Structure 1
Amino acid sequence: MDSGRKSVRRPELPTIARGEEETVTERKREEGEETIFRTCAWSPPGCHPVGCGLQVHVKDGVVVEVEGDPEHPITKGALCPRCLALTEYVYHEDRIVHPMKRAREDRGLDKWESCSWEEATDLVADAAREIIEQYGAETICVFGGTGREANYWYTQWANLVFGTPNAVYAQAGWSCYGPRISNTAFMLGGGYPEIDYAQKFADRYEHEGWVAPEVVVCWGKEPLRSNPDGMYGHALIEMMRQFGTKVICVDPRIHWLGSRSEIVLQVNPGTDTAMAMAWIYVMDKEGLVDREWIDAWTYGYDELVERCQTMPPSKAAEICGVPEDLIWKAARMYGSARPSALAWGLAVDENPNGTQLGQCLIALMTITGFIDAPGGTTLGMGDDGGNRVHDGGGIDASQRIEDENDSTLMLALKNGIMTQEMWDTKRIGVDKYPAVGSIMWTAHPDEFLKALETEQPYKVHMAGFVSSNPVGTAISAEPQRWYKALKQLDFNYACDCFMNPTIMSCCDVVFPVASTIEHDGMVVTHYASNASFYGAQNKCVQVGECKSDIEIMMMVGKKLHPGFWNRFETQEDYDNFHVMRSWLPFRELRDKVVVMSEEPYYKYKIGKLRPDGQPGFPTTTGRVELYSLMYQNWGEDPLPYYEPPVYSPGALPELGREYPLMMITGARQQEFFHSEHKQVPSLRQLTPWPMVDINVYDAETYGIEEGDWVEISSPYGSIRQLARVVPTMKKGVVHCMHGFWYPEENGEVPNLYGNWKSNVNMLMPNSVNGKLGFGNTFKQMMVSIKRVDGRGGPNDPDANGIVLEPSRQEEFTVQQTWRPADESTAVYLQK
């Protein structure tokens, strides 16, 4: 299908001459014996690209304190505990600060030895060169993690360093951000939708023309815990307190925000699409839509309504386990609000029926007429940023930039690093799931795992792990399968800050990566697909021999493809060429620290979304495609439909007798980013053990009390976590904490830092994807739960099978009441 879009427009940034704006302070200043740097945080350690403002106090080249930057236009001095604990992270005794190597036969053993950068990069380049010559570049793959800055670089490692099309994001069904990006691309043409909290304006809530949302819906999203992707959770609280914004939550749990909301719809896991269709039914039936806007700017509304007539609230109530009258009330409240906004979260992605849910939610954002309107749901500019740095962004392949300076793929093709034939024919899984291939520009993760195991369509020989830990506890379903497959490869390397199960079990070389305060760079909210501001990561200190992801990539790239990579002498050269280009030189951003996007409202009315400068959306029809022609193009139903969870007692009644509960996972912890930070004392104290939340009635049924170690089992495996009995969990549903491991334990095979003990991903299968290839069962898996014999507490092996090493027991002992490790953490908690 001809998308009608061959190129994309650049976002228009304000140009600010030095000294023109007095409110912008210098990036560093001297106070006594300290130098104080202003910078915006990203990763490592892991975080989404939110760019919180930091002031880093440095004395004699060492960080002595990290505090919030009061000059930052959004965070204004506030920080989460992870940033407050940066000093502990940066100088942790277990940090990798030198390149290391190990013999292949010693995989799984702690036989690492330090080596020089020259030797380490030679080992990787030589192995790659030999494999490329003997088997082909496609037999090399590069893994990238979630949300981190390394997301920008792993596709570039693959395409521009090794010349392979196989960049891999290992989460089953690309179940993080990818499904929402696909919905956005297919229905809106690109540009991620986010609620309006005046995030694009320097004067924020005082900005002329901004109004607060009357109602905000948080659908499967708890922004206070993670500030996901670029939405600051505290801003929603500010609007609730200052402007009376009301909140509706859709979630099986009643979390902190839910307890302050007007309505919480505690849906059965995996049934959200039925709920969303019922909302559309109510809003159309009661005239709570902007029909004039719909007629002018949408395609297929009548067909959408006809489809949603099959899901009246009475039917949705039965499917979702929510009272019918509450569905009517919530839909009326949202539809009647002037204006309203909707925030969608990870629950959309981690669901095989999630792309259909996303269709409904985009419809709900738009049919009110408050899309890209003050107080509504904003859109990014016509270029989502994917064409410059995040080649996983939300633009169809046919719409990609063909400017040599921007597109990673075009750079690889034009410089002879990779061929078009290889890209078209050797990327694993995109023949089966072309929609995923067009949007995410990676291999399909589930199909790639099959290829590793079966050696079909060809055998993979080498892997790189760029801040990615697929054997670990945060990303990959069935991690034991990834472990068995990856340890067989000929050569593996990693770029990371700490040892982890993947590196210990599978790798031969590890590069030490500089943290967010140890390297220069840029952070843009929502990966630039809906930019609030452009923030500078300013280098404050040097730790050991650590280098940035870009510096490491350049070193290896120069040894394999000098014709391309030798043009860059420094990281700044590369930043200005491939990252900052079309925005502003890095040094200018560095000195300003933050530049606001200042994007206008109603961009679709004034030609700011389409490449031809005409009003409308960059879709085939120029409208919001509620009847999705792109879905139809991929062989999918162009209208939303509900499918029940694959693994549920209702769908599999016989198996349901053995596994009667539904499990969800993935709720965020403020003190951790997925599997990271578990070795940082002040953060680990906040949650020393993995917790499973269970409703009080279910706990009574299964003889479970608060603090019991329990075993959670599915048809795929069993794990143990500590029970937390709560009244806020939906009856019949448990929530298992994800990302938990025990870095204080023995790291060698088979223990791998306790990787298999509490790893919730061992309960989930791969390849339970939707028709387009997205989604999996992370938030809808049938399980059983039982108390483990013994009540001796967390260090009783009879109770839980998890024993800390004696040297570390005191550091991580569970306390009835605990004290923060440092004063800065105490201040945060008091706030």
Structure 2
Amino acid sequence: MEYNNEYNLDLYPKKLHWKEGDLTATRTTMWSGPGCHEGCQVIFYTDDDGKLVKVEGDPNSPFNQGRLCMRCLELPELVNHEERLRYPMKRAGKRGEDKWERVSWDEAYDIIEEKVRAFQEKDGPESIISMIGTGRNVSQVIAHNQYANFGGPDLTLCFLSGDSCMLPRTALCYVVMGNQWVADMSQFRPDRYENDPEWQIPECIVIWGTNPVVCNSDAFLGHWIVEAMKRGSELVTIDPQLTWIASKSKYWLRLRPGTDAALALGMMNVIIGEDLVDHDFIDKWTYGFEALAERVKDYPVEKVAEICWVEPELIVEAARFYAKAHPSTIQWGLAVDMSKIGTPTAHAIACLAGITGNIDNPGGNILIDQACGLEFGYNSGIEYLKEGMVEKRLGNSKYNLKKYGFTASSQSDAILEACETGLDEKGDPRPVNMLWIQSSNPITNMGQDAPRIYRAMEKVPFICVVDLFKTPFIVACADLVLPCAMSNERDCIRVWFDPVRSLTKCSSFYEAKEDEQIMIDLGHRLAPESWPEWVKEPRDYMNWRLQVGNCGFTMEELENDHAGMIYNDFRYYKYEKGLLRPDGQPGFMTPTGRYEFYISLFDSWGVDALPFYEEPPTSPVSTPELAEEYPLVLTTGKRSFEFFHSEWRQANTTSRELHPVPYFDIHPDTAAKYGVAEGQWTWIENQMGKCRQVARFNDTLDPRVISTEHGWWFPEQEAAEPSLFGVFDCNPNNLIPMCENGPSGYGAPIKCGMAKVYPCTPDNMRPEDQPTYQVTATNGYTHGPSHKSDEPSFYDQNNKGETSWHKPANTAF
């Protein structure tokens, strides 16, 4: 439906609560958990017992205009699921035995307080580290909890190698232009599309490394692109597979995974060579264009076509179309981050937008900050750290982008190495005594080299996890588990980009608590000097932060006076108006005051200041001998409508009914070559390890590429080791290394590895052949002694160490 500025008061009153028959309707925002990045406005319907029974999209919301994905519509299934965590639990047996004892919240807090005090005294607060998953507002909660309550400087994305989820792009944007950017779909103004007199429909939308209608990532709703298409926008989609949106595109560039930087440089070679650049923007507002123009000469189209496996004519035509269209915009995604050169790749794409002048213009790539300028992210509560503590962040001494705060988090790979060795990156003692893990399931999803992470956790004395369900990581590694509330059970404010939105609690679930409530309760115990006495509940915390931020409204006013949503005054061309710099001068928040093609900070740090391409660490080009045994390019993390990372895998849900097993996509000709039938369980193996998924034919793939799904585990299987819900059996992260980052510390080769495939058969599908058994009951894939004892493993006892498949070269497990 078209957005109407007037509320349909007959169906949806402009207020917070109302009755519809026997149900109470609550206008609020859906924000995970369970998952998604968006924050769509919804109507939650609860019965007289406070049970969530139905979810609808709010058609009067300018943000999503009533549109919802299946994860929102099926929310009652997960909210009311019988396997949800209901009470705090402490481990009663050994890790991995799945033996638990129910405890009260006070007992849980007593355990945490005792551990925190002991670790602070023994090795300092820096021996306590917090780690976050993705979704919901845990970034603000975990930061305030870590800095104010625990007193340590380290928090990060939970073992995500190279912080490869938006942070490579974000850090790059800050050094190039001093802000983040996003494609302009009129989403930051309440009068959407043609109702906004200033917005212009993009003539060209480049979709780079994302499938927006399916994943809705980075607080960007894929439906917005569909609305622009209805109004005339044409697309260029850069993706190894023909997605639905790629099939609707004017140009689809099927590049080899991991070669995005080369493609962007090749497109710039065309645009600069044919003088299709925006001279006015370049001359007035940019720095380093001449150097960039010289660099792109190294990337002629024929060379780039060979690197990327894309026809040269397509590269030329797509580049011309993007440069000649006015305005043009780029919406990029996770694939940009997930190569070793994630930051240079983002740099190349940022330069592509800059040379065409599509920066902060209507319908271009617009510069944005947190809604209302509120800091509800990784810096929340940082003022409570003791002097000198920030400098102790793991990774700071190795990576300047970390050291100088271009994203306020520690480096994930450095934390893993500290867990393993007790040393920091300089070799100085740095014990890790406690991990606080919130909203993450790292051996299933977020961490690469999942077996390595599993082993490293044995060296961490105390691990506390806050989550929705009992996950493989909880069973294998946790000592204390805290149940957290879901979206409909929370009072909070969502501030990741405009508009500001409220979440209003309309139900509860046993003893599950809001993330904010856990933080507040611990704060009054551990660091009462950091907390106002009156901040007792999440609403108090939200009003405190709004007060500190001088926002001019309370949470209650946001809900009752503004129907739960406030837009700020968004303005275009902020660099012309002095709105980006604290000194009020025109320009960008960079050392030169300009949009930097040549990054002056990189130059001063001895890092290549221009974008460049480098082959992935393993590829047909960089490791030809390895490619003889593992000839296929492996890309991971294909998204689906049903799931959000490792969430929604519970049995007896619509999601699992529609999507019961993990699939990997393979070209039919490739499948025939290796004896794989469609629908057949298939081993995917490389020098790191192996996993198995079900073959799904996809003739839009290059025959040299396979694409796997991520985040799989099987809650219906046995929890205790050696099963662990079958977590390693289907996990492509078994095949991806940690600690292979570029000089920036950002980026990792997650979507550009190598592998081979072969059918699962009775001869190679014995229980002892399964990756989960190999990892949990033996010494990884080496078939050595069990890590649990000095006795020979079951496999060795029965098979005398002989293997039915190739032993990986990397036996560091």
TM (norm. structure 1) is 0.87
Shift of 1:728: 1.3
Are residues 1:436 and 2:399 paired? no
Question: Which residue of the other structure, out of 750, 756, 778, is the alignment partner of 1:778?
Answer: 750
1:549/1:88 CA distance change after superposition, 3 Å:
same
Q: Secondary structure at the match of 2:292?
A: helix
Matching residue of 1:183:
172
Question: Which residue of the other structure, out of 317, 325, 335, is the alignment partner of 1:337?
Answer: 325
Amino acid at match of 1:630: L
Question: Which residue of the other structure, out of 369, 378, 381, is the alignment partner of 1:391?
Answer: 378
Indicate the RMSD between aligned Cα atoms, in angstroms.
Answer: 2.4
CA separation in 1, counterparts of 2:104 and 2:304? 62
Matching residue of 1:448:
415
Amino acid at match of 2:394: I
Are residues 1:537 and 2:499 paired? no
CA separation in 1, counterparts of 2:768 and 2:694? 14
2:361–2:572 Cα contact (<8 Å) kept: yes
Note the alpha carbon deviations across 1:441-493, whole angstroms, 9 max, x for none.
2221111111111111322111111112222x211011111111213322221
Question: Which residue of the other structure, out of 713, 716, 719, is the alignment partner of 2:688?
Answer: 716
Note the alpha carbon deviations across 1:223-252, whole angstroms, 9 max, x for none.
1112111211111111112x1211001111
CA separation in 2, counterparts of 1:110 and 1:432? 39
Amino acid at match of 2:558: L
Matching residue of 2:554:
585
CA separation in 1, counterparts of 2:659 and 2:46? 29
CA separation in 1, counterparts of 2:363 and 2:486? 36
Q: Secondary structure at the match of 2:721?
A: coil
CA separation in 2, counterparts of 1:259 and 1:203? 30
Matching residue of 2:381:
408
Amino acid at match of 2:90: K
Where in structure 1 are there 5+ consecutive unaligned residues?
Answer: 1-21, 393-406, 413-417, 804-831
CA separation in 1, counterparts of 2:410 and 2:693? 33
Amino acid at match of 2:442: P
Amino acid at match of 1:660: P
Are residues 1:288 and 2:276 paired? yes
Shift of 1:168: 2.7
Shift of 1:384: 7.8
Shift of 1:220: 0.6
Of stretches 443-452 and 718-727 in structure 1, the one that deviates more from structure 2 is: 443-452
Are residues 1:213 and 2:212 paired? no
Q: Percent identity?
A: 38
Shift of 1:800: 8.7
CA separation in 2, counterparts of 1:338 and 1:801? 52
4+ runs deviating over 4 angstroms: 383-387, 795-803
CA separation in 2, counterparts of 1:667 and 1:635? 36
Matching residue of 1:617:
588
Matching residue of 1:633:
604
Shift of 1:440: 2.6
1:754/1:601 CA distance change after superposition, 3 Å:
same
1:372–1:379 Cα contact (<8 Å) kept: yes
2:728–2:771 Cα contact (<8 Å) kept: no
Are residues 1:82 and 2:71 paired? yes
Amino acid at match of 2:381: T
Matching residue of 2:572:
601
Q: Secondary structure at the match of 2:658?
A: coil
2:371–2:500 Cα contact (<8 Å) kept: no
Shift of 1:620: 1.1
Matching residue of 1:727:
699
CA separation in 2, counterparts of 1:52 and 1:306? 45
Note the alpha carbon deviations across 1:778-825, whole angstroms, 9 max, x for none.
110011111112699xx998999999xxxxxxxxxxxxxxxxxxxxxx
Shift of 1:23: 10
Shift of 1:569: 2.2
Note the alpha carbon deviations across 1:148-180, whole angstroms, 9 max, x for none.
321222222211110011213220011001100
Are residues 1:698 and 2:693 paired? no
Q: Secondary structure at the match of 1:439?
A: coil
CA separation in 1, counterparts of 2:619 and 2:237? 23
CA separation in 1, counterparts of 2:306 and 2:632? 17
Shift of 1:570: 2.2
Shift of 1:594: 1.5
Q: Secondary structure at the match of 1:465?
A: strand
CA separation in 2, counterparts of 1:386 and 1:662? 42
2:681–2:760 Cα contact (<8 Å) kept: yes
Question: Which residue of the other structure, out of 176, 194, 215, is the alignment partner of 1:226?
Answer: 215
Shift of 1:387: 6.7
Amino acid at match of 1:495: V
Question: Which residue of the other structure, out of 543, 554, 557, is the alignment partner of 2:520?
Answer: 554
2:724–2:772 Cα contact (<8 Å) kept: no
Matching residue of 1:12:
none
1:649–1:659 Cα contact (<8 Å) kept: no
Q: Secondary structure at the match of 1:753?
A: helix
CA separation in 2, counterparts of 1:460 and 1:757? 29
Question: Which residue of the other structure, out of 426, 449, 452, is the alignment partner of 1:481?
Answer: 452
1:219–1:343 Cα contact (<8 Å) kept: yes
Note the alpha carbon deviations across 1:572-605, whole angstroms, 9 max, x for none.
2211223573333111222221122340111111
Of stretches 462-471 and 171-180 in structure 1, the one that deviates more from structure 2 is: 462-471
Are residues 1:47 and 2:36 paired? yes
Residues paired across the two proteins, number: 752
Matching residue of 1:160:
148
Matching residue of 2:776:
none
Are residues 1:171 and 2:144 paired? no
Note the alpha carbon deviations across 1:261-312, whole angstroms, 9 max, x for none.
1111111111111110011111111121110111011111111111001101
2:31–2:135 Cα contact (<8 Å) kept: no
Are residues 1:262 and 2:233 paired? no
CA separation in 2, counterparts of 1:119 and 1:385? 38
Question: Which residue of the other structure, out of 486, 498, 519, is the alignment partner of 2:490?
Answer: 519
1:293/1:423 CA distance change after superposition, 3 Å:
closer
Matching residue of 1:807:
none
Alignment of 1:716-755 (within 5 A): 716-755=688-727
CA separation in 2, counterparts of 1:634 and 1:389? 30
1:74/1:512 CA distance change after superposition, 3 Å:
same
Alignment of 1:100-179 (within 5 A): 100-103=89-92, 105-169=93-157, 170-179=159-168
Amino acid at match of 1:371: I
Alignment of 1:24-63 (within 5 A): 25-48=14-37, 50-60=38-48, 61-63=50-52
CA separation in 2, counterparts of 1:515 and 1:713? 37
CA separation in 2, counterparts of 1:687 and 1:217? 30
Matching residue of 1:366:
354
CA separation in 1, counterparts of 2:162 and 2:766? 38
CA separation in 1, counterparts of 2:453 and 2:372? 31
CA separation in 2, counterparts of 1:203 and 1:373? 17
1:274–1:642 Cα contact (<8 Å) kept: yes
Matching residue of 1:415:
none
Are residues 1:355 and 2:343 paired? yes
CA separation in 2, counterparts of 1:114 and 1:183? 46
Amino acid at match of 1:432: K
Amino acid at match of 1:665: T
Q: Secondary structure at the match of 1:379?
A: strand
Shift of 1:136: 1.2
1:717–1:763 Cα contact (<8 Å) kept: yes
CA separation in 1, counterparts of 2:740 and 2:136? 26
Alignment of 1:635-714 (within 5 A): 635-679=606-650, 681-714=653-686
CA separation in 1, counterparts of 2:528 and 2:540? 15
Shift of 1:140: 0.9
